[in-house]
């Protein structure tokens, strides 16, 4: 399909931004920042209605989810927990008036610090939180409830935080089955439900568990399971539950909905990275952006940027560098900062912690910088509005 009204939705450390693209995706206009300068970890949109949601927060604001139903012109905030702002407002009536503060209790004051991820499918909006839990809304994000079966999973007492804390950062759907869903938690691994969230199964088993029983790195595969620090995960289009994940320690493929995982890292320059992307029309074409390692700086190997592509499900890999900086490149691309559109000629986009957006309209063969000097980019999503 050809896009009729393309937007890139950006989450940054200084609010949400929109990049508006013409039909040919060659000219882009930046608008923002939105959401009152909140730290926004993830922004998503509904192509049918045009509704946009932005989730984030911090110690000052607490956690919350912003919603716009007019393409970003106006925004409405649903606060979910309190922050330092509330302590100030409680002591200062003038400040309370300035920020339109209410002393009414918020629904997740004791349990949620930030919103880390969002998802929308089958008419329901989901939010992943820090500390790790899953929230859901059936009224477009106005009110929220917790998916208790995941929070109370028998393994929860053993979940360990990653470097950014214990976060639920990835939400994956089956577009044909509303009861099936996957989430990624750092550092607890992959969890799946097939009954609409009533029960959850932990799915990290290796397909070759006998070949990998121990590794000294805490995030690496051991005891027959992949490293529990999954960084990002996607489901391929089609009837089969084909999943790919970029882990703290490698890239992995599962052809059975996560019940077993196969290491497909061979051919990449490193095991470490954050995003993973799958072609919307070809389940065997995937992209990732390797970085040099968690303790080596987390920038492209040899300080030369490349997106790596596989056309055969991870059996072989090719580095794509045309248009990307090849000298003194020290940026990081975070877990939710790579996106793809639904155009027939598939477009790819990624954002950097140095504030740049790069785009490719030929499936990664060539790249151009379409925006720069933005705040640290935490997430990128492509919204193709339906005619």
pLDDT in tens, 134-150: 999 999 999 999 999 99
- Give tens-digit pLDDT for 149-199: 999 999 999 999 988 899 999 999 999 999 999 999 999 999 999 999 999
| Predicted pLDDT of residue 361 | 94
Handedness of CA 11, 14, 15, 16 (dihedral sign): negative
Of the pLDDT bands very low, low, confident and very high (cuts 50, 70, 90), residue 21 is: confident
Q: What are phi and psi of 339, to 5 degrees?
A: -140, 165
| Number of Cβ within a 10 Å radius of residue 109 | 15
Of the pLDDT bands very low, low, confident and very high (cuts 50, 70, 90), residue 324 is: very high
Residue with more model confidence, 266 or 209: 266
Nearest to 9 by CA among 382, 385, 350: 382
| Predicted pLDDT of residue 3 | 43
Which value, in Å, is the radius of gyration of the alpha carbons in the chain?
20
**Dist CA 203 CA 226 (whole Å):** 9
| Predicted pLDDT of residue 138 | 97
| Predicted pLDDT of residue 2 | 45
Nearest to 99 by CA among 70, 61, 73: 61
Q: State the average pLDDT over residues 224-238.
A: 94
Classify the phi-psi angles of 99: left when phi > 0, otherwise alpha if psi is within -120 to 50, otherwise beta.
alpha
CB-count exposure of residue 256 (10 Å: 0-12, 13-18, 19+): middle
Cis ω for the linkage preceding 131 (within 30 of 0): yes
Q: State the average pLDDT over residues 345-363.
A: 96
């Amino acid at each position: 399909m050809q896009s009729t009204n393309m937007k890139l939705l950006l989450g940054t450390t200084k609010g949400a931004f929109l990049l508006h693209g013409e039909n040919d995706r060659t000219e882009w206009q930046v608008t923002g920042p939105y959401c009152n300068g909140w730290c926004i970890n993830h922004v998503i949109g509904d192509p049918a209605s045009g509704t946009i949601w932005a989730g984030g927060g911090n110690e000052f604001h607490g956690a919350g989810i912003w919603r716009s139903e007019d393409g970003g012109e106006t925004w409405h905030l649903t606060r979910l927990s309190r922050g330092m702002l509330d302590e100030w407002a409680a002591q200062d009536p003038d400040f309370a008036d300035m920020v339109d503060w209410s002393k009414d209790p918020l629904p997740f004051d004791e349990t949620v610090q930030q919103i880390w991820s969002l998802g929308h499918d089958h008419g329901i909006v989901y939010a992943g939180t820090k500390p790790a839990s899953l929230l859901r809304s059936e009224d477009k994000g106005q009110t929220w409830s917790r998916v208790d079966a995941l929070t109370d999973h028998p393994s929860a007492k053993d979940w360990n935080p990653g470097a950014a804390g214990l976060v639920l950062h990835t939400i994956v759907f089956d577009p044909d089955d509303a009861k099936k869903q996957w989430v990624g938690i750092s550092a607890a691994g992959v969890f799946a439900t097939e009954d609409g969230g009533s029960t959850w199964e932990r799915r990290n088993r290796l397909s070759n568990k006998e070949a990998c029983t121990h590794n000294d790195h805490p995030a690496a595969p051991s005891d027959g399971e992949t490293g529990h620090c999954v960084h990002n995960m996607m489901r391929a289009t089609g009837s089969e539950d084909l999943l790919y994940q970029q882990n703290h320690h490698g890239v992995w493929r599962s052809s059975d909905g996560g019940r077993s995982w196969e290491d497909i890292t061979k051919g990449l320059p490193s095991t470490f990275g954050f995003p993973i992307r799958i072609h919307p029309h070809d389940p065997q074409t995937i992209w990732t952006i390797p970085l040099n390692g968690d303790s080596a700086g987390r920038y492209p190997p040899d300080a030369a940027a490349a997106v790596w592509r596989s056309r055969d499900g991870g059996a072989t890999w090719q580095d794509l560098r045309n248009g990307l900086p090849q000298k003194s490149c020290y940026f990081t691309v975070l877990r939710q900062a790579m996106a793809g559109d639904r155009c027939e000629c598939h477009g790819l986009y990624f954002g950097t912690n140095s504030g740049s957006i790069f785009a490719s309209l030929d499936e990664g063969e060539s790249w151009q910088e379409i925006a720069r000097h933005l705040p640290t980019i935490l997430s990128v999503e492509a919204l193709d509005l339906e005619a």
